[in-house]
Structure 1
Amino acid sequence: MNAPLGVILAGGLATRMGGGDKALLPLGQGTLLSHVVDRLAPQVAGMALNANGDPERFAAFGLPVLADSIDGFVGPLAGVLAGMDWAVEQGAETIVSAAADTPFFPTDLVARLQEAAVGMENPLVLSRTEDGRQPTFGLWPVALRDDLRAALNGGLRKVVMWTDAHGGREAMFPDATPAPFFNVNTPEDLELAQGYLEGAA
């Protein structure tokens, strides 16, 4: 299976952080987003960022910025769809999504997702831990983009409802410290992340 393109999902409203761009919050020597970029880059053939509003605020990263094509902040599936549409233009068959607020996700994310997808006509795999599925970390086939578009326009919002309908699989990730998909939702989470980072230094 060829290396997928990576799509970092930063389209949320960050309400628990007081709004604004959670991805640009400082963490260590960089930002939440810079840590995600550095972790995803070696695993994919290229990257884009899904974010709404003025793309110039992300100019320093040098990534294509993809806005949702479905209005109204309908959730991560809209970002996945934007990524699929971009990937088709690049000639890619799959994308891997990663959340912009999850700085410690596994360095073997893509390898495990692809391993779980072996034999699938349309590779569709979500990450899973003992705490449940991680719907913002998945492998997605661009061949299903029009189906996803129709589902979103029809009111579908839950990721797992769509993946289950298409026979999606799961890739299991073992527990670790920090948790594989620890994400920053609150100021307290950001302090925890800083502590994890300093502990690893």
Structure 2
Amino acid sequence: MKQPLGIILAGGQATRMGGGDKGLLRLGGTTLLTRVIERLEPQVAGLALNANGDPSRFAGYGLPVLADSIGGYAGPLAGVLAGLDWAAEQGADTIVTAAADTPFFPPDLVPQLLLAAEGMQAPLTLAATPDPKRNRNRHPTFGLWPVALRHDLRNALQDGLRKVVLWTDAHDGREALFPVGDFDPFFNVNTPEDLQLARQMIGAEA
């Protein structure tokens, strides 16, 4: 399997942070988005950013900025679709997505997703972590997605589907289980309190 392209999902509305781009929040002397780029870029064959609105606010990152093709903030699946369409233009077979507000995700994200997808005709894998209450906790913004299913995904979105796992389960998607150490590596910054906690996690003030 060829190395996938990477798509950083930054298309959300960040309502619990008061709006704006969560990826541009400062953490340890840099931005959340920079931390995500630095962690994902070595694992993929190329990188793009899914974001809506004026793309010039991300000009300093030097990445292609892909807007949702499905209107009305249709959620992360719309960002996945934008990434799949871009990857098809690049001649790629798969993409891996990561969220712009999740700075501590595993540095072996892509290898583990690929390993879990071995033997699949249409590689489709979501990251997951153990959860003592629910057995496992899936992280739907972190996944391996096949370009071959992009038209199926487009049709599902146009029909109103928004929940990631409903679509992945319908296509027999698998899971790659990642261990949880001192904290969940898929911890994401949704609120000002989360941002403060992230700063404590890295021992930084800003």
Same fold (TM over 0.5): yes
Q: TM-score, normalised by structure 2?
A: 0.95
1:83 aligns with 2:83: yes
Between the aligned residues of both structures, percent identity stands at 71
Question: 2:191 — aligned with what?
Answer: 186
Tell me the distance in 2 between the aligned counterparts of 1:116 and 1:2: 15
- Match of 2:91, SS state, is coil
Question: 1:148 — aligned with what?
Answer: 153
Q: TM-score, normalised by structure 1?
A: 0.97
Tell me the distance in 2 between the aligned counterparts of 1:3 and 1:197: 30
Tell me the distance in 1 between the aligned counterparts of 2:160 and 2:15: 22
Tell me the distance in 2 between the aligned counterparts of 1:15 and 1:174: 30
1:159 pairs, out of 155, 164, 169, with 164
Tell me the distance in 1 between the aligned counterparts of 2:17 and 2:142: 21
Contact 1:104–1:178 (CA<8 Å) still a contact in 2? no
Tell me the distance in 2 between the aligned counterparts of 1:95 and 1:177: 29
Unaligned residue ranges in structure 2 (runs of 5+): 132-136
Question: 1:118 — aligned with what?
Answer: 118
Aligned length: 199
Q: What is the CA distance between 1:180 and its match in structure 2?
A: 1.1
Q: What is the CA distance between 1:16 and its match in structure 2?
A: 0.4
Contact 1:11–1:51 (CA<8 Å) still a contact in 2? yes
C-alpha distance after superposition, 1:70-97 (max 9, x if no partner): 0000100000000000001111000000
Counterpart residue identity of residue 85, structure 2? D
Task: Provide the aligned C-alpha RMSD in A.
Answer: 0.8
Tell me the distance in 1 between the aligned counterparts of 2:162 and 2:192: 27
Q: What is the CA distance between 1:178 and its match in structure 2?
A: 2.9
